[in-house]
Structure 1
Amino acid sequence: MIYATRDDMAHRYNQDTLAQLMQTLPGQEDTGLLDNALADASALIDSYISARYTLPLSSVPLALTQQCCAIAFYYLNTVRATEQTRKRYEDALRWLEGIRDGKTPLGVAQDSSAPESCDLPEMQSEAAVFTRDQKGFV
């Protein structure tokens, strides 16, 4: 389950900074880098919260989106991560450890499951025609 999107990253971080981090060659952006970082961060989060919660979650708490963005930003900055970026990453891991250990609540029910879809087929039928008392005459 993906806990943050490109828009979430754009709201939290400077657009120019994100563009620089996604450059593979001068003037060429690889948006796949951001998608991979978000997917990797979400997979890491899943590994922590699956110990306590049923996945996928029915709703994604805002705090989880925030931590996913911090982890993904760190993954994008692996070569030139600042101390602040590293600290946010380490704080996110400590927060996830607290969730895993049951010390920090996530804000969703522990037996939370995905909401049921409205697009599933539904079957209805009339009452049975053949029973012990009715021999099939309608």
Structure 2
Amino acid sequence: MSYASTNDMQKRFGQQDLVLLTEREDSDPEQINMPILEQALTDASAEINGYLAGRYSLPLTIVPTVLTRLCCDIARYFLGTDNAPEHITERYQNAIKFLVAVGKGTLSLGVDELGANAQTDDTAVMQSAGSVFARGKSKGFI
């Protein structure tokens, strides 16, 4: 199971960029080479799973949006590692740092260890330090 789809990649990086990144000698230079793109997404998802496996039951039943973004960033890096621009390399390194932190438990994906949404108490709680202005405290101003 991949955390992102080819459609997610197209939305994030655009058709033209993906055509250039997936172009091979035997492929149509005007079309995205879908098998190459799908393999990059599969590889990126496998790398993500390596970091999540110690804390979460895989596959996750609900894919957090952050994993879709990270999967796209990692797959984009895998597609152009030979000549990846600095900002792409930086996004990959940031994705790995995030995944390491999730693996250590210092960051959370917002799902429980079974991969479902974490249960929250969706009630608002308001607290106040008390009234600042009151008739007894105003000394003749009110």
TM range (shorter): 0.7 to 0.9
Asked if 1:13 is matched to 2:16, the reply is no
Separation of aligned partners in 1, 2:110 and 2:67: 10
Query: What secondary structure does 1:24 align onto?
Result: coil
Asked if 1:112 is matched to 2:119, the reply is no
Separation of aligned partners in 2, 1:16 and 1:112: 35
1:23 — aligned with what? Answer: 23
TM norm structure 1: 0.77
Segments of 5+ residues of structure 1 without an aligned counterpart are: 114-138
2:90 — aligned with what? Answer: 87
Q: Which deviations, in whole Å up to 9, do the C-alpha atoms of 1:11-61 show, x marking residues without a partner?
A: 100210100111102744532110110000000001100110001111000
Identity percentage of aligned residues: 39
Separation of aligned partners in 2, 1:37 and 1:49: 18
Query: What secondary structure does 1:73 align onto?
Result: helix
* Mapping 1:1-138, distance limit 5 Å: 1-25=1-25, 27-28=28-29, 30-112=33-115
Separation of aligned partners in 2, 1:57 and 1:5: 15
C-alpha displacement of 1:66: 0.1
Which has the higher mean CA deviation after the structures are superposed, 59-68 or 17-26?
17-26
Separation of aligned partners in 2, 1:41 and 1:111: 21
Number of aligned pairs?
113
C-alpha displacement of 1:75: 0.3
Contact between 2:2 and 2:41, CA under 8 Å: does it hold in 1?
yes
Q: Which deviations, in whole Å up to 9, do the C-alpha atoms of 1:53-88 show, x marking residues without a partner?
A: 001111000000000000000000111100000000
- CA root-mean-square deviation: 1.4
